[in-house]
Amino acid sequence: MFRNVGLIALFVLVAIGPRPSLAQDAAWTVSISSHIRPFVRARKPQDMPPGVHTTLIKLQIDRDGRIHGAAVARSSGKPIVDAAALAAVRDASPGPTLPNIAPGTSISATLPVSFDNSRAAKPARSVKSICDGC
- Model confidence pLDDT, tens digit, residues 41-64: 999 998 888 899 999 999 999 989
Q: What DSSP line would sit under 31-78, residue for residue? A: HHHHHHHHHHHHT--TTPPSSEEEEEEEEEEETT--EEEEEEEE--S-
Could you read off the pLDDT of 26-37 as tens digits, one per residue?
A: 787 888 888 999
pTM of the predicted protein model: 0.70
pLDDT score of 123: 53
Q: Which residues pair with 113 in a beta bridge?
A: 7, 55
CA angle 69–63–104, rounded 5-degree value:
90
Question: Using H for helix, E for strand and C for coil, what is the string for 80-133?
Answer: HHHHHHHHHHHHCCCCCCCCCCCCCCEEEEEEEEEEECCCCCCCCCCHHHHCCC
**Contact assessment for residue 53 and residue 115, using Cβ atoms and an 8 Å cutoff:** yes
Could you read off the pLDDT of 60-113 as tens digits, one per residue?
A: 999 899 999 999 999 999 999 999 999 999 999 999 888 776 677 888 888 899
Q: Which CATH architecture has domain 6-119?
A: 2-Layer Sandwich (3.30)
**Contact assessment for residue 75 and residue 100, using Cβ atoms and an 8 Å cutoff:** no
pLDDT score of 21: 53
Domains of the chain by residue range:
6-119
How far is residue 86's CA from residue 92's CA, in Å, rounded to a whole number? Answer: 10
